Amino acid sequence: MNIKVKRLHEAARLPRYGSEYAAGADLYAAEGAEIPAGETRFLHTGIAVELPAGTVGLVYARSGLACKQDLAPANKVGVIDCDYRGEIVVALHNHGKSPRTVAAGDRIAQLVVAPYYVCEYEEAETLSDTVRGAGGFGSTGQA
């Protein structure tokens, strides 16, 4: 699948996969920023994408950045709708106790492109029975 990418900033880098079977393509900061402990900063990637109809761009944390630098998207998973043509901006939150510096060109998140369904929701008086039923929040695997 080919995805058109428009550079909006001269320092912008196109998304790139880190390995042959990587699901997410790295997104890069177009500009540097300092993120104080416990705060969120909006980091510009300097790119816009044209996702194919029926797909969504999901912006996830990079595991190394989250585990080693305490930096992860503030909204946990960003959603880029296929009709959005604006810049991809990552709201990066510093979960640590020290300020963190992000330099231009640093990998700040990863983009996974996935198909999605558009559903029609209809009200119902009953739902089908399952073994699990209404058990949630840690209910599976309980003996």
pLDDT digits (tens, 9 = 90+) for 2-20: 999 999 999 999 999 999 9
Does the pTM surpass 0.85? The reply is yes
Indicate the helix (H) or strand (E) that contains 56. Answer: strand 55-60
Which has the closest alpha carbon to 27: 109, 100, 119? 109
Q: List the domains of the chain with CATH numbers.
A: 21-114 (2.70.40.10)
pLDDT digits (tens, 9 = 90+) for 70-79: 999 999 999 9
CA dist., res. 95 & res. 38, Å (int): 5
Cβ atoms within 10 Å of 53's Cβ, excluding its own: 6
The DSSP secondary structure of 11-31, one letter per residue, reads T----EESSTT-SSEEEE-SS
pLDDT digits (tens, 9 = 90+) for 23-38: 999 999 999 999 999 9
CB-CB contact of 57 with 80 (8 Å):
yes
